[in-house]
Amino acid sequence: MAHVTFIHGISNKPEADELLKIWRRALADTGDDPLALGSLGVSSSLVYWADVMYAAPDPDVSAHEGVLENTPAAVDGSGNPPLPTPVSPESAAFIEALRRELTDLSDAEIAAAPQAPVATGPKGLERVPLPWALKKPIMAAFLRDVHHYLFNVEITPRPGATFRVQDEIRRRTLDRIAEASSRPHIVVSHSMGTVIAYDCLKRVQDCPDVDGLITLGSPLGLDEVQDKLRPGWSRDGGFPVEKVHGDWVNVFDRLDVVCGADPHLSNDFRRQRIGAVMDVAVQNSGAWRHSATKYYRQPRLRQELRRMLGV
């Protein structure tokens, strides 16, 4: 029996069981080549880390399952996250550089931005025709979650629960990957989940090996992220060959704000200087292209996952 380990991305999420059901339903949704894992005997599990960052699960389950774009939850901005506070000069430089990937607007310009949907420029979030009332929580969630993971920030999301973010999420990821006894075993990660997957598979010696990796809407192409994955990452030897014994398929939408600045990974994660990542371009619907649910409904993603699972 084959197995899939999913890893979710930025912002708050519904409870773990609900999120896993949403993603499995999206893969099995009607359309071209539906992929019903249960009917094919494929088991699955989820690396869930939203509770490390956020006080309580997002109760708006339907927003994560649908394709509407009118609430923060529906556009990966739920949880009302604050912008990250720097923990060092290096951390401050990282936040500012990553912010520049998303927008050229100042805080004052964002505050004065119109509430009606509008695309105001070519940079990151400015390409997305959504009101800044929705774009602001997206930016905050992306900056905060990625920063806290890469800098291993200590956080107390609710009374009685304090974590070192990277340490805790690494532990959960290794536990979930180790739980899967079935092969082939494919890791499917979305958004910041791709950073978590890569960090563990490339930089954590005790991480179990897997048979394949799929990344969706990944920010791994950004220089700022790559720099924080050293030691381990290098352009000519970045493929996690020690732990990933099969293919790495990277699925992206060019208008996905999280990966759009540099969506191709084959040139940045080579195996012995040779491109080894299969970059696959898709076109998600609507203005907000980063939705995990939209990626899972893509026929090409289903095709590659089916092939890697051998079902």
Q: What is the pLDDT of residue 308?
A: 98
Angle made by CA atoms 100, 102, 103, in degrees to the nearest 5: 70
Cβ contact 6:46 at 8 Å: yes
Same domain assignment for residues 299 and 205: yes
User: CA torsion 156→70→192→119, rounded to 10°?
Assistant: -120
Same domain assignment for residues 143 and 174: no
Cβ contact 6:44 at 8 Å: yes
Count of structural domains within the chain: 2
Question: Does 112 map to a domain?
Answer: yes
**Domain's final residue, options 128, 155, 182:** 155
Residue numbers of the domain that contains 25 = 3-65+161-309
Q: What is the pLDDT of residue 236?
A: 96
With 0-12 / 13-18 / 19 or more C-beta atoms within 10 angstroms meaning exposed / middle / buried, residue 273 is exposed
Same domain assignment for residues 91 and 211: no
Cβ contact 218:252 at 8 Å: yes
Length of the chain: 311
Question: Does 72 map to a domain?
Answer: no
Question: Does 70 map to a domain?
Answer: no
**Domain's final residue, options 99, 122, 155:** 155
Question: Does 86 map to a domain?
Answer: yes
Same domain assignment for residues 115 and 261: no
Type of residue at 219: P
Same domain assignment for residues 209 and 250: yes
* 283 Cβ contact list (under 8 Å, min separation 6): 253, 255
Type of residue at 154: E
Cβ contact 287:245 at 8 Å: no
Same domain assignment for residues 197 and 302: yes
With 0-12 / 13-18 / 19 or more C-beta atoms within 10 angstroms meaning exposed / middle / buried, residue 41 is exposed
**Domain's final residue, options 124, 155, 186:** 155
Q: What is the pLDDT of residue 30?
A: 78
Question: Does 245 map to a domain?
Answer: yes
Question: Does 71 map to a domain?
Answer: no
Identify which of 309, 300, 229 has the alpha carbon closest to the alpha carbon of residue 265.
229
Same domain assignment for residues 84 and 224: no
Would you give per-residue pLDDT tens digits along the chain (311 residues)? 899 999 999 999 999 999 999 999 999 997 778 999 999 999 999 999 999 999 999 999 999 998 889 999 999 999 999 999 999 999 999 999 999 999 999 989 998 888 888 777 888 999 999 999 999 999 999 999 999 999 999 999 999 999 999 999 999 999 999 999 899 999 999 999 999 999 999 999 999 999 999 999 999 999 999 999 999 999 999 999 999 999 999 999 999 999 999 999 999 999 989 999 999 999 999 999 999 999 999 999 999 999 999 99
pTM of the model: 0.97
Q: How far apart are CA 183 and CA 259, in angstroms?
A: 30
CATH number at residue 36: 3.40.50.1820
Question: Does 8 map to a domain?
Answer: yes
Q: What is the pLDDT of residue 116?
A: 84
User: Between the CA of residue 26 and those of 3, 170, 255, what are the distances in Å?
Assistant: 17, 26, 21
Same domain assignment for residues 87 and 165: no
Q: How far apart are CA 240 and CA 60, in angstroms?
A: 36
Same domain assignment for residues 216 and 280: yes
Same domain assignment for residues 111 and 167: no
Q: How far apart are CA 23 and CA 15, in angstroms?
A: 13
Q: How far apart are CA 264 and CA 192, in angstroms?
A: 16
Cβ contact 63:22 at 8 Å: no
- Structure tokens, 125: 């979030």
Same domain assignment for residues 82 and 190: no
Same domain assignment for residues 151 and 192: no
